[in-house]
Amino acid sequence: MTDRVSTAIDARVAERAMLSHPFYQAWTEGRLPLDTLRAYARQYFHHVEAFPQAVSAVHSACPDRDGRRMLAENLAEEEGVEAGKQDHATLWMMFACGLGETDEAVRDQQLNAETLELIDTFRRLSRRSYASGLGALYAYESQFPGVATAKIDGLVERYGISDEETLRFFQVHATADIEHSAVCRQLLDRLPEDQKAEAIAAGEELAGALWNFLSGVEASVSVN
């Protein structure tokens, strides 16, 4: 296999891109009731809260110093360790509360099977091997700048939600994940030949778990 790993993952992700999912299309078009957005926010918080563990596992398994440094910067942003920065789970909770949720309701939410599967898939792939974790991480972060921008547009234009605190999670990810995915792309394309197929398979599996998560939310609420 001599093709770029990131290009191969891009092709797999395109088949199940989050922005192509009917749930996100309904969001962009303003067809989701606010109660549906709240249900989505309650479910997705638990993935956001668990996500830094996946980044940490990839960082720990990275075999070269420069790669670890770049992944450490990614992890620091997720955890909000820099002065004046908030961790991303807090930013997501601000979004949920901006929709009218409470911290308690979000944390006590019973999770759909698809939500649990997404969290488990990310955890499993990130701990299986460096190549596997990196492929999964890239499949997620490469999509998120476009997803975040579309969500902001939908919230502002279709739902009249424009306060900065509610939108901050998406504003941060609309830019931060451009850099994060670029880092993953560099590291993926430096993988040894015998690790490339595993990274591609992991990226494809993670893209499927994200798609199924959205289907699970869609199935649990009424989407008109």
Q: What is the pLDDT of residues 15-62, one digit of tens each?
A: 999 999 999 999 999 999 999 999 999 999 999 999 999 999 999 999
For 90-130, how does the pLDDT look when each residue is reduced to its tens digit (9 = 90+)? 999 999 999 999 999 999 999 999 999 999 999 999 999 99
Complete DSSP assignment for 136-196:
HHHHHHTTHHHHHHHHHHHHHHHH----HHHHHHHHHHHHHHHHHHHHHHHHHTTS-GGGH
Residue 193 lies in a domain: yes
pLDDT at 135: 97
Alpha-carbon distance values, 167 to 7, 20, 160 (Å): 31, 22, 12
Is pLDDT at 2 greater than 70 in this prediction? Answer: no
| Tokens 């790669």 belong to residue | 67
H helix or E strand, kind and range, residue 85: none
Residue 127 three-state SS:
helix
pLDDT at 177: 64
Q: In whole angstroms, what is the distance from residue 172 CA to residue 168 CA?
A: 6
Is pLDDT at 224 greater than 60 in this prediction? Answer: no
What average pLDDT does the chain have?
Answer: 92
Residue 3 lies in a domain: no
Instruction: Please tell me what DSSP assigns to residue 20.
Output: G
Residue 20 lies in a domain: no
Q: In whole angstroms, what is the distance from residue 50 CA to residue 140 CA?
A: 14
Residue 188 lies in a domain: yes
Phi, psi of 133 (to 5 degrees): -65, -40
Q: In whole angstroms, what is the distance from residue 207 CA to residue 218 CA?
A: 17
Residue 14 lies in a domain: no
Residue 185 lies in a domain: yes
Q: What is the mean pLDDT of residues 58-75?
A: 90
Residue 180 lies in a domain: yes
Per the structure, the complete domain to which residue 95 belongs is given by 25-220
Structure tokens at 100: 């009218």
Q: Are 137 and 126 in contact (CB under 8 A)?
A: yes
Q: How many domains does the chain have?
A: 1
Residue 1 lies in a domain: no
CATH number of the structural domain spanning residue 81? 1.20.910.10
pLDDT at 107: 97
Q: What is the mean pLDDT of residues 161-190?
A: 88
Structure tokens at 31: 């067809």
